[in-house]
Amino acid sequence: MENIPHGPVHVWIGDHTQPNLEHMGSLYFAASDPIFYSHHANVDKMWTIWKTVGGKRSDITNPDWFESGFILYDENKNLICVKVKDYLNTTKLGYVYQDIDVPWLGAKPIPRLQRAVVMSFGSGATLAAETSKTTKFPMVLDSSVSTMVKRPKKSWKEREKEKEEVLVIEGIEFERELGVKFDVYIVGNSPSIMVRSD
């Protein structure tokens, strides 16, 4: 949500003739753009919907995030400290979103991969094992890259296998003015990762 769709909307609406992409494209100026509030209300609504579609979705409860504090001005121009946990329940904040049909909720993306690409990636586990031996980092992503990602050595109980797993890829750098897209494919129980930038 933070990176897509939240971030790109800020950059797209920001004025590219200004040095800091004023207003929406800059953290320091974004709230002075009237569309800021519509955009953030929409992101908030998407997060609220996401939590209701099943699959054990819920807010992050990590204490480092949950207890994070921010210094803000209230409606009387007084400085106050608010915590993330104080803003997760819209009912407690005094509002709820209208219960209406959400047409895109049941939509599924249409894969853009051509059959030949899918077939060539069928041997991804072997390719990934070789790539992880031969690839030197850092590297430039000017073509597809595959590597093996080993899971932690734990014995997983059946009920623990149902938990959502998160793969974090760090250290990707790119020019903020460029439109960059990464496709990440996870294959098999011991996932093979292929990253492609367009």
pLDDT mean values, one per 10 residues, the chain (198 residues): 86 84 86 92 89 80 88 92 88 88 77 47 45 63 72 60 66 73 67 50
pLDDT at 43: 92
Q: What is the rounded distance in angstroms from the CA atom of residue 171 to the CA atom of residue 194?
A: 16
pLDDT at 36: 94
Backbone dihedral angles phi then psi of residue 133, each to the nearest 5 degrees: -80, -35
Domain ranges of the chain: 2-106, 118-197
SS3 119: helix
pLDDT at 120: 45
Q: Which residue spans within the chain are E strands per DSSP?
A: 69-73, 79-83, 145-148, 182-187, 192-197
pLDDT at 143: 75
Q: What is the rounded distance in angstroms from the CA atom of residue 113 to the CA atom of residue 172?
A: 23
Using the CB atoms, write b or e for 90-107: b if 16+ within 10 Å.
eeeeeeeeeeeeeeeeee
Distance of alpha carbon 15 from its chain centroid, rounded? 24
Q: Kindly list the distances between the CA atom of residue 179 and the CA atoms of 31, 111, 174, 183, in Å, as whole numbers in the listed order.
A: 23, 21, 9, 14
pLDDT at 81: 92
pLDDT at 38: 94
For residue 52, give both structure tokens: 């209701």
